[in-house]
Amino acid sequence: MGLTRRTLIGSVAAGTALAAVPPRDLMPGGIASAAAASPPGDVVGKITVGYQGWFSCPGDGAPIGGWWHWSRDRFQPPSPANTTIVSWPDMRDYTHGYSTAYPALGNGQPARLFSSYDQQTVDTHFRWMREHGCDTAALQRFNPFGDEGPTRDAMAVKVRSAAERYGRKFYVMYDVTSWTAMQSQLKEDWTTKMSAHTASPAYARQNGRPVVCIWGFGFNDDGRPFAPAPCLDVVRWFKAQGCYVIGGVPTYWRQGINDSRPGFSEVYHAFDMLSPWMVGRTGTLDGLDWFHTNVNVPDLADCAAHGIDYQPCVMPGDLSAGHRRHGDFYWRHLYNMIRLPAQGLYVSMFDEYNEGNQIAKTSETQATTPAGVGIRALDEDGTFCSADYYLRITADGGRMLKGQLALTPVRPTPPVVGTPPPPGGNLAAGRPATASSSQNGPYPPGNAVDGDRGSYWESANGAFPQWWQVDLGGNQPVTRLVLALPAGWERRTQTLSVQGSTDGTTFGTLAGSAGRVFDPATGNQVTITLPGTATRYVRVHVTGNTGWPAGQLAQVELYAG
């Protein structure tokens, strides 16, 4: 694929100019006068997330075959010596994982990865978007005229389906990197394939027009050698088709320096909205403040003067480089762009485990990360963060953008909700499990502690009560129990209690019997607070299930205070 925006990084940053500059407050008569050129729509006033959807695994049915974007050599399984990723996904919400050549996780479980080609994966991602206020997904589309084309075509269908199912919007974001014949082929691809998706009620519209983004015009690198004239022709062509056209442009587009070629001003000003790139430009809070004052503020003024909407890029930070500061980096970037005020935000990225700037659920500790390979988990700076932490920050950022949360430089989002787990993470992972009974077939009690939400324990049918039990190996002051079913299952209520024992013989009540609702709208997951009593054996006692005549558990997690 040649040089991509995922490899175009700090060489064009501001360098010594990244000195600390105090944040500028919004002042009456100043930037506040730079009103949006457009009214609220599916991108103006909204949180947009960049969505790759480009991970494939052998056996998933994808036309491209192999370990697409997991491995440098996609025909060999990913391993520490054959990888493209720097972060590890949290796998608990996926019904299926694919075994890799990585070492086992720190908890001893096999190291498995997801495939974007599985519809359940895309559905899970769009459910997370709905749950965390991500309004619109920008589906990345690289040159589809090579061997990637059929897979990317199929991914567009899968994304459309998930967006419709979960009430999200999406649009096509063309990346012209290494796309030699882009001037003619962009038009051909839109006319013959992608424009058909605008018939979907989920396809994003702004000012009544379908949204298209073109990323990469004007970048000063060998992967995008295009002259201004063909780029301008493409922008004007899409606008003539009735599209609202976003430009994914260089950081220094306005000045034509550093990462931007000179002579592209007319191209940039032809777009309806500009979204300058920021990944790799800084990894510090001072750097974000410098860019706010010296780049973003004048960018917004230029856009306002030309009637162009402004959608700056915001980023959670490169986890692999230690930029995140348990959420402070992301929040500062959100705060700085909202106080400009930007007309919309582009989060880079949703699922970019390759660069470590994903907001999708990520491994919390080394217990759920391949052992000894140097991949950082979310607790890399010593602060435990839940797997969904950066999705929750995004949700608060979206509320602040829309005026539902007061503008604040202080991150309101805690790293965890409720009692934080210990550094060791889930105490039940991989521990010995037993049960009163198991349904014939692949439904043993060990399925509930194997880290795979797609496998589950099911008791003998038609006979209550039933119980499931785990041995923690020693007494632990357990304070929180998380129970889950496969993410795609329909809503059901299981009536259950929780019991504990230090010897496996005499059990006391840790949580009384109650109907626990497993709802796919909230992840098919239930959290139960426990008293912190020293306990070795934890038993879930089930007396009823409205969805099936048996006890059912796909994932059991236990945490100590």
Q: Is the pLDDT of residue 4 over 80?
A: no
Q: Is the pLDDT of residue 379 over 70?
A: yes
69, exposed or middle or buried, with CB in 10 Å at 0-12, 13-18, 19+?
buried
| Domain stops at, among 381, 401, 421 | 401
Strands (DSSP E) found in 355-502: 433-435, 457-458, 466-484, 492-501
User: What pLDDT score does 174 carry?
Assistant: 98
pLDDT band of residue 452 (cuts 50, 70, 90) is confident
User: What pLDDT score does 35 carry?
Assistant: 61
Instruction: Give the pLDDT mean for 405-426.
Output: 75
Q: Rounded to whole angstroms, how far apart are CA atoms 244 and 66?
A: 36
Two tokens, residue 72: 């440098």
Instruction: Give the pLDDT mean for 446-474.
Output: 91
Instruction: Give the pLDDT mean for 188-217.
Output: 98
Mark whether 495 and 363 lie in a shared domain. Answer: no
- 460's enclosing H/E stretch is none
Counted domains in the chain: 2
Mark whether 361 and 487 lie in a shared domain. Answer: no
pLDDT band of residue 561 (cuts 50, 70, 90) is low
330-341: string of b/e by CB count within 10 Å (b at 16+)? bbbbbbbbbbbb
User: What pLDDT score does 500 carry?
Assistant: 95
Write the CA distances from 205 to 245, 341, 350, 394, 464, integer angstroms: 10, 21, 21, 22, 52
Write the CA distances from 105 to 98, 101, 427, 554, 557, integer angstroms: 14, 11, 14, 19, 16
User: What pLDDT score does 473 carry?
Assistant: 79
Residues 253-268 have pLDDT tens digits of 999 999 999 999 999 9
Query: What one-letter code names the amino acid at 358?
Result: Q
425 located within any domain: no
User: What pLDDT score does 25 carry?
Assistant: 35
CATH number at residue 219: 3.20.20.80
Q: Rounded to whole angstroms, how far apart are CA atoms 518 and 484?
A: 7
Q: Is the pLDDT of residue 132 over 90?
A: yes
Mark whether 389 and 438 lie in a shared domain. Answer: no
Instruction: Give the pLDDT mean for 369-391.
Output: 92
Q: Is the pLDDT of residue 30 over 60?
A: no
Question: What angle (nearest 5°) sits at the alpha carbon of residue 169, between those of residues 168 and 173?
Answer: 135
Q: Is the pLDDT of residue 215 over 90?
A: yes
223 located within any domain: yes
Mark whether 142 and 265 lie in a shared domain. Answer: yes
Q: Is the pLDDT of residue 27 over 50?
A: no
Q: Rounded to whole angstroms, how far apart are CA atoms 300 and 36?
A: 10
Instruction: Give the pLDDT mean for 507-512.
Output: 95
Q: Rounded to whole angstroms, how far apart are CA atoms 377 and 370?
A: 10
13 located within any domain: no
Is residue 349 within 8 Å of 362, Cβ to Cβ? no
Strands (DSSP E) found in 386-532: 433-435, 457-458, 466-484, 492-501, 508-518, 525-529
pLDDT band of residue 431 (cuts 50, 70, 90) is confident
Q: Is the pLDDT of residue 16 over 50?
A: no
Mark whether 498 and 383 lie in a shared domain. Answer: no
Instruction: Give the pLDDT mean for 298-317.
Output: 97
Sign of CA dihedral 346, 524, 156, 54: positive
Mark whether 394 and 498 lie in a shared domain. Answer: no
Phi then psi dihedrals of residue 186, to 5 deg: -60, -45
Mark whether 212 and 305 lie in a shared domain. Answer: yes
Mark whether 521 and 389 lie in a shared domain. Answer: no
Question: Regarding predicted confidence, which is higher, 441 or 48?
Answer: 48
Question: Regarding predicted confidence, which is higher, 474 or 192?
Answer: 192
Query: Above pLDDT 90, what percent of the chain?
Result: 79
pLDDT band of residue 414 (cuts 50, 70, 90) is confident
Query: What one-letter code names the amino acid at 420?
Result: P
Two tokens, residue 23: 């944040």
User: What pLDDT score does 512 carry?
Assistant: 96
Q: Are strands 457-458 and 47-51 parallel, antiparallel or unpaired?
A: unpaired
User: What pLDDT score does 441 carry?
Assistant: 85
28 located within any domain: no
Mean pLDDT (the chain, rounded):
91
In this structure, what DSSP letter does residue 296 have? Answer: I
| Domain stops at, among 347, 381, 401 | 401
1 located within any domain: no
User: What pLDDT score does 413 carry?
Assistant: 86
Instruction: Give the pLDDT mean for 548-552.
Output: 97
| Cα–Cα nearest to 413, from 435, 391, 446, 440 | 391
Phi then psi dihedrals of residue 262, to 5 deg: -75, 160
Q: Is the pLDDT of residue 295 over 80?
A: yes
Query: Above pLDDT 70, what percent of the chain?
Result: 92
163 located within any domain: yes
Instruction: Give the pLDDT mean for 9-27.
Output: 33
Neighbours of 410 (CB within 10 A): 7
CATH number at residue 518: 2.60.120.260
113: β partners? 98
Mark whether 384 and 465 lie in a shared domain. Answer: no
Two tokens, residue 334: 């959100």
Phi then psi dihedrals of residue 381, to 5 deg: -100, 15
pLDDT band of residue 476 (cuts 50, 70, 90) is confident
pLDDT band of residue 522 (cuts 50, 70, 90) is confident
Mark whether 380 and 441 lie in a shared domain. Answer: no
Q: Are strands 209-215 and 169-175 parallel, antiparallel or unpaired?
A: parallel
Residues 338-351 have pLDDT tens digits of 999 999 999 999 99
Residues 149-188 have pLDDT tens digits of 999 999 999 999 999 999 999 999 999 999 999 999 999 9
18 located within any domain: no
User: What pLDDT score does 144 carry?
Assistant: 97
Is residue 298 within 8 Å of 254, Cβ to Cβ? yes
Poorest-confidence range of 83-92, 318-327, 346-355, 478-487? 478-487
Is residue 272 within 8 Å of 205, Cβ to Cβ? no
Instruction: Give the pLDDT mean for 77-98.
Output: 95
Question: What angle (nearest 5°) sits at the alpha carbon of residue 175, between those of residues 44 and 36?
Answer: 15
| Domain stops at, among 385, 401, 417 | 401
Mark whether 393 and 531 lie in a shared domain. Answer: no
Q: Is the pLDDT of residue 23 over 80?
A: no
pLDDT band of residue 15 (cuts 50, 70, 90) is very low
Q: Is the pLDDT of residue 549 over 90?
A: yes
User: What pLDDT score does 7 carry?
Assistant: 37
Poorest-confidence range of 4-13, 182-191, 325-334? 4-13
- 76's enclosing H/E stretch is none
Range of the domain at 441: 433-560
User: What pLDDT score does 29 carry?
Assistant: 29
pLDDT band of residue 403 (cuts 50, 70, 90) is very high
407 located within any domain: no
Instruction: Give the pLDDT mean for 475-494.
Output: 91
Instruction: Give the pLDDT mean for 95-118.
Output: 94
Phi then psi dihedrals of residue 198, to 5 deg: -70, -10
Mark whether 339 and 467 lie in a shared domain. Answer: no
Two tokens, residue 444: 């043993």
pLDDT band of residue 475 (cuts 50, 70, 90) is confident
3-state DSSP percent of the chain in helix, strand and coil, to 5: 25, 25, 55
